[in-house]
Amino acid sequence: MKLRAQHRQIVLSLLAIVLLFAALFGGGMTLLRAELVAIQQEKTAE
């Protein structure tokens, strides 16, 4: 039983890390998209 509990802990840890990376990546892409939109708006304003 002890081994199974440890295995579950490892799986949960990996899942948390994956979710963290997904959140960071998603946030970075959102920021990048916002930057591109701002640049396009500046170009059209000229």
Q: In this predicted model, what pLDDT tens digit does every residue of 8-31 receive, in sequence order? A: 999 999 999 999 999 999 999 999
Enter the pTM of the model.
Answer: 0.57
Q: How far apart are CA 38 and CA 35, in angstroms?
A: 5
Q: How far apart are CA 3 and CA 7, in angstroms?
A: 6
Burial state string for 7-46 with b = 16 or more CB within 10 A and e = fewer than 16: eeeeeeeeeeeeeeeeeeeeeeeeeeeeeeeeeeeeeeee
**The pLDDT of residue 1 is above 70:** no
Handedness of CA 12, 15, 19, 25 (dihedral sign): positive
